[in-house]
A and B are shown apart, each in its own frame.
Chain A
Amino acid sequence: MKVRLLFFAVLRDIAGADTRDLVLAEGTTARDVWQSLRDEHPLLHDYLQPPMTAINESYAAPDSVLRDGDELAFIPPVAGG
């Protein structure tokens, strides 16, 4: 299945991209995607737990199972206002 991963704020800087299209096995969770990002980027190694997670523009539990066509974003600590 295909999932689009969006990067914002500090995560965009770390990933060096705005988006990435992922091809994932059925049953993959948002947390699994976070773990693979940690493996890939040393700056994320200390962050064992994902930040807040959004699927299709709504907050979701990190253990949510992703579905084909989902748009996934990890939400670093927000700082609006």
Chain B
Amino acid sequence: MFLTDAPLDPRALVARVMRASDGAYVLFEGVVRNHHHGKAVTSIFYDAYRPMAEKELARIVRDVETEFPETAVAVQHRLGQLDVGESSIAIVAASPHRAEAFAACRALIDRIKETVPIWKKERGPDGEEWVGWQGRS
């Protein structure tokens, strides 16, 4: 399972991925920040089409591990209400060499942002807004 409603556990993710042959791992965490496009943000609500998001994440992990055959990756995405400073996503890429670990980690986060059906509603003193949607809800 890639999705969770609980706080993320990046150390457990690292432990799950690392092999004795790995010389490096890259750990990326996406964190809720207190601003977006000049507006204050106090929390973010993450929503997902869960079964489809699980499938898309599995597909992306498979693709990246195929492109970087020596690299093992893992990802966890948190859903629900997150406050500023909390991590929404954790990605680990472990490899015998650091260059592949950095590249695989970057590829994962970039692709996840493109196609995985996960959405966020930013909440702040000015109200709330689904990110990426132009209209008003």
The residues of A with any CB-CB pair to B shorter than 8 Å are: 6, 8-10, 12-14, 43-44, 46-47, 54, 57-59, 73, 75-81
Q: Is the interface of B mostly helix, strand, loop or mixed?
A: mixed
Cα A43 to Cα B132 with chains together (Å): 15
**What's the tally of chain B residues with a CB closer than 8 Å to chain A?**
30
Contact indicator per residue, chain B 96-137, by CB within 8 Å of chain A (1) or not (0): 000000000000010011111111110000000011110111
**Which residues of the other chain, A, contact B47 by a CB distance below 8 angstroms?**
8-9, 12
User: Total contacts A to B, CB within 8 angstroms?
Assistant: 83
B121 with A9: CB separation less than 8 A: yes
Contact among B89, B109, B115, B119 with A8 in the assembled complex (CB-CB below 8 Å): B119
Chain B neighbourhood of A76, CB < 8 A: 119, 130, 132-133
In the complex, which residues of chain B have a beta carbon less than 8 angstroms from the beta carbon of A8?
A: 47-49, 117, 119
Report if B30 contacts A (CB, 8 A): yes
CB distance from A51 to the nearest CB of B (A): 9
Residue of B nearest to A42 (CB): B135
Query: How far is B114's CA from A12's CA once the two chains are assembled, in angstroms?
Result: 21
A80 with B113: CB separation less than 8 A? yes
Q: Does B84 contact A (CB under 8 A)?
A: no
Most B CB within 10 A of own CB, among A46, A59, A78: A78
Say yes or no: B135 contacts A46, CB within 8 Å. yes
Indicate if the CB atoms of A81 and B30 lie closer than 8 Å: yes
CB proximity to A under 8 Å, residues B1-53: 30, 46-49, 51-53
Smallest CB–CB gap between B91 and chain A, Å? 9
Distance, CA A73 to CA B117, complexed state (A): 10
Given known A9-B47, A57-B52, contact A79–B137 (CB-CB < 8 A): no
